[in-house]
């Protein structure tokens, strides 16, 4: 049974959302496919970055069938720059499965939708509640922060063990009559008002119910567990040129950044120079003998669990035929053709130097 406080929180939040919500492209539709695409993109990427990607993606692939028919490389190219490419690969695989099994219909029940590649609890709850009004509560970073402050929760928001606590709270607060609107209202409050730093409590509709605010401890919540510093790797890569063409290789589909293209290279070993690592890696990876001609640039790039320092060298082809381990492709491409291929962020940081 709903308590009066829960009813009041639901009403205040929903009223606030109707008045204050941002006008975003995926909010103009109830099409489950488009809502799904937006939620997948929004999982790791900021709203403002997502907007143009979303618009371009649903123009290129307006429904499950068109995404299923597209080749993976084109899909990765539309995703290029947004990172976390497993999202795109999974979305593509899920579209192919739906196209084959349900004529492209997005399932409206938890078991079938949750079983699709890349669909976790968050995506399932978000899409099913927003597109189909199913009573599932979403729990993302914004929701956890709002709940932690509202009820002064001491469980750290960045610890996986805390998820049960926040999920139970989100479920007990959910407005089951309007789950989609309610879920979006909590997330929007977290994004616009109950922000990580300096929340705008003065404009918040929940001040009368927020225990952190009422006890003057807003800054103490949410609690976070200290993370270990992320490791940093030194990588060397070579731009090998032969007859005005450059060698690029495609990463295996089942690894991080799978399906993307890159310049061959790898980790610099202890006691090894970056130049020597570049020559060795190219020999081991693609069976070519090359000579380093010059240092093109040094790039720094951060992924979610590690950082890299990438030294890039211009290399001259000496001898050998490309031979790769496993079913991985390679191409010799002209400078102009580079734009056709999807590259990871660290490679994209120096592509402009090659075109100049
Ligand atoms: Fe967040 Fe402040 Fe609102 Fe509490 S009163 S929910 S801390 S914005």
Q: Which residues contact 343 (CB under 8 A, 6 or more apart)?
A: 80, 260, 261, 262, 351
169 and 249 belong to one structural domain: no
Active-site entry in 39, 188, 281, 285: 39
- Residue 300 belongs to a domain with what CATH number? 3.90.79.10
Domain boundary among 198, 220, 242: 220
Task: Retrieve residue 336's tokens.
Answer: 């102009």
- The span from the CA of 275 to the CA of 347, in Å, is 17
Strand-strand pairing, 261-262 and 232-242: unpaired
Residue 187 within any structural domain of the chain: yes
- The span from the CA of 10 to the CA of 27, in Å, is 20
Write out the residue range of the structural domain in which residue 113 sits. 4-220
Q: Which of 169, 190, 204 to mutate to test the pocket of ligand 1 (most atoms within 8 A of CB)?
A: 204
- The span from the CA of 349 to the CA of 237, in Å, is 13
Question: Left if phi > 0, otherwise alpha if psi is -120 to 50, otherwise beta: which for 104?
Answer: left
8 and 132 belong to one structural domain: yes
Domain boundary among 174, 198, 220: 220
285 and 311 belong to one structural domain: yes
Instruction: Quick: pLDDT tens for 227-260.
Output: 888 999 999 999 999 999 999 999 988 888 989 9
The pLDDT of residue 248 is 96
- The span from the CA of 38 to the CA of 74, in Å, is 18
- The span from the CA of 149 to the CA of 222, in Å, is 6
User: Is 101 one of the annotated active-site residues of the chain?
Assistant: no
The pLDDT of residue 3 is 74
For ligand 1, whether the C-beta of 193 sits within 6 Å is yes
User: What residues in the chain have per-residue pLDDT under 70?
Assistant: 1-2, 4, 325-328
Instruction: List, in sequence order, every beta strand (DSSP E) within 243-352.
Output: 245-250, 261-262, 265-267, 289-302, 307-319, 330-333
202 C-alpha vs ligand 1 centroid, how far in Å?
8
Instruction: Quick: pLDDT tens for 19-58.
Output: 999 999 999 999 999 999 999 999 989 999 999 999 999 9
Going from the C-alpha of 264 to that of each of 105, 197, 237, 251, 267, the distances in angstroms are 41, 41, 6, 10, 11
Q: State the virtual CA torsion across 263, 268, 274, 275 in degrees, nearest 10.
A: -70
- The span from the CA of 260 to the CA of 274, in Å, is 23
For ligand 1, whether the C-beta of 206 sits within 6 Å is yes
Residue 63 within any structural domain of the chain: yes
End-to-end CA, the chain:
67
Percent of the chain scored above 70 by pLDDT?
98
- The span from the CA of 183 to the CA of 142, in Å, is 11
The pLDDT of residue 327 is 52
Residue 188 within any structural domain of the chain: yes
Q: Taking a C-beta distance cutoff of 8 angstroms, is the pair 153, 165 a contact?
A: yes
Q: What pTM does this model have?
A: 0.87
Domain boundary among 220, 241, 275: 220
> Which class for 242: exposed (0-12), middle (13-18), buried (19 or more C-beta within 10 A)?
middle
Closest by CA to 22, choosing from 40, 38, 6, 44, is 38
Residue 62 within any structural domain of the chain: yes
DSSP class of residue 263 equals: -
Ligand 1 atom closest to Cα of residue 205: 3
The pLDDT of residue 296 is 96
Report how many domains make up the chain.
2
270 and 204 belong to one structural domain: no
For ligand 1, whether the C-beta of 172 sits within 6 Å is no
203 C-alpha vs ligand 1 centroid, how far in Å?
9
144 and 257 belong to one structural domain: no
Percent of the chain scored above 90 by pLDDT?
91
30 and 143 belong to one structural domain: yes
For ligand 1, whether the C-beta of 127 sits within 6 Å is no
- The span from the CA of 64 to the CA of 113, in Å, is 14
Residue 227 within any structural domain of the chain: no
List b or e across 61-90, with b for residues whose CB sees 16 or more CB atoms inside 10 angstroms.
beebeebbebebeebbbbbbebbbbbbbbb
46 C-alpha vs ligand 1 centroid, how far in Å?
21
For ligand 1, whether the C-beta of 204 sits within 6 Å is yes
Nearest CA to ligand 1 atom 2: 201
For ligand 1, whether the C-beta of 165 sits within 6 Å is no
């Amino acid at each position: 049974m709903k308590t009066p406080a829960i009813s009041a929180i639901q009403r205040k939040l929903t009223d606030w959302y109707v008045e204050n919500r941002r006008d975003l492209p995926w909010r103009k539709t109830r099409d489950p496919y488009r809502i799904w695409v937006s939620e997948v993109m929004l999982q790791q990427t900021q709203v403002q970055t997502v907007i143009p990607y979303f618009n371009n993606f649903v123009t290129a692939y307006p429904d499950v069938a068109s995404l299923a028919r597209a080749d993976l490389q084109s899909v990765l190219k539309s995703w290029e720059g947004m990172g976390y490419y497993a999202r795109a690969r999974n979305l593509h695989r899920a579209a192919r499965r739906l196209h084959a099994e349900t004529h492209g219909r997005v399932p409206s029940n938890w078991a079938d939708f949750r079983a699709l590649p890349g669909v976790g609890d968050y995506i399932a709850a978000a899409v099913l509640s927003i597109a189909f009004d199913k009573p599932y509560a979403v729990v993302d970073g914004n929701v956890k922060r709002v709940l932690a402050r509202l009820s002064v929760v001491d469980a750290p928001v960045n610890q996986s063990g805390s998820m049960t606590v926040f999920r139970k709270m989100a479920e007990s607060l959910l407005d089951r009559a309007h789950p989609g609107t309610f879920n979006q209202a909590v997330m929007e409050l977290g994004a616009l008002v109950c922000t990580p730093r300096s929340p705008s409590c003065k404009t918040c509709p929940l001040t009368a119910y927020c225990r952190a605010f009422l006890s003057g401890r807003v800054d103490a919540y949410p609690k976070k567990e200290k993370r270990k510093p992320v490791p940093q790797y030194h990588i060397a890569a070579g731009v090998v040129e032969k007859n005005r063409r450059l060698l690029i290789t495609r990463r295996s589909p089942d690894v991080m950044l799978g399906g993307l293209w890159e310049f061959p290279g790898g980790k610099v070993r202890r006691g090894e120079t970056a130049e020597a690592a570049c020559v060795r890696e190219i020999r081991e990876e693609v069976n070519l003998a090359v000579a380093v001609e010059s240092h093109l640039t040094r790039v720094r790039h951060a992924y979610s669990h590690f950082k890299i320092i990438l030294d890039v060298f211009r290399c001259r082809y000496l001898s050998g035929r490309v031979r790769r381990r496993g079913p991985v492709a390679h191409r010799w491409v002209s400078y102009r053709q580079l734009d056709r291929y999807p590259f990871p962020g660290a490679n994209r940081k120096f592509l402009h130097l090659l075109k100049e």
